[in-house]
Structure 1
Amino acid sequence: MTMLAYLIPAALFLGALGLSGFLWALSSGQYEDLQGAAERILIDCDDDPEC
């Protein structure tokens, strides 16, 4: 029973940390251009020095 006194606050802290990281990613624009990131992987930059 004593172990739950340590595990429950630790789980709540880690959950809040993950939620705050997700909300930070949303507010900083990490999810703005999902289609562009998916298409950039298909561009071949080996022959183009400007790329």
Structure 2
Amino acid sequence: MESLYILIPLSVVLVFVIGLVFWWSVRSGQFDDLQGPAYRILFEDRDEAGSGDAVPPSGKPADEEKK
């Protein structure tokens, strides 16, 4: 029974701290864009492939294939 005198106030303080951390994260914009990073990971290679420096599957640079 005596342990409840410690555990109940400790749990109330812990809930208060967790609430403050959650409030801070919402106010600082941590949850603004949840889907953007996932799509950025998927489509990041597309920018590199369009640069023109990529070697085609034949192994020759693109300007030599046109000759």
Coarse TM-score class (shorter-chain normalised): 0.7 to 0.9
TM-score by length of 1: 0.74
Give the CA RMSD over aligned residues.
1.5
Q: Which runs of 5+ in 1 are unaligned?
A: none
Question: Which one-letter code corresponds to 1:29 in the other structure?
Answer: G
TM-score by length of 2: 0.59
Count of matched residue pairs: 46
List structure 1 segments (4+ residues) > 6 angstroms apart after TM superposition. Answer: none
Higher RCO structure (Cα 8 Å, ≥6 apart): 1
Identity %, equivalent residues: 41
